[in-house]
Structure 1
């Protein structure tokens, strides 16, 4: 029998702190504790990359249930559709107009944070809203 392993989700991005703080707000996460021996993420980054502060950032679920999210600066920009995306599950168990109302309310909450609404997928019963984060990465409100 295999054992369950912890995992983190890693985002390639241009501005790790900005993207991390966006996802903290979306998911109710917190900035991850600073690595041992450092007083801040900026100090940690400067120790590894003196000319390029802000290379890494992370956030965690304060309950410990969700995976750690890790953000790393990469030189190239996003050029294609994500091969993996997050579904933010706010309408679980709801259907029809009740589900749609909850999804729309969450969409309205995320827009001022920098999210962009892409499109609504709705068949009269099931629905989700496809969105983009502050760097254009797709995610769904489900």
Structure 2
């Protein structure tokens, strides 16, 4: 059971890691090359779909990470439990950053895109969002490694 939980935690974390990595490596420079109105429309639409669809893998990653941690500790795999627990902690830090910084900005861009407007300070908002995307990707990547390590240590 531990291996299944760690695999699900890894796969669902990989979805968010890949999305954040794409944002850091591809979308950030692409958005910088757009005028504010186009950037607002594209960013707003992207966040509209992201906010609607990404909670599923995000919630599953946290739940399965917690379950893997608990299962490992209860079945006599303390090292695997520690790895899964660290992965869970990294996901929770990511979630805190996302909810405090990224999500309010996402909502601003979604509302502006739906209204056909450019929010005041649009470029500054996007720069603020961009300011933590590397950290978000790193947290997800490190969590993914922890869940892979959980599999190795539980074997």
Q: TM-score range by the shorter chain?
A: under 0.3
Q: Greater RCO between the two (CA within 8 Å, min separation 6)? A: 2
Query: Scaled by the length of structure 2, what TM-score is found?
Result: 0.24
More strand by share: 1
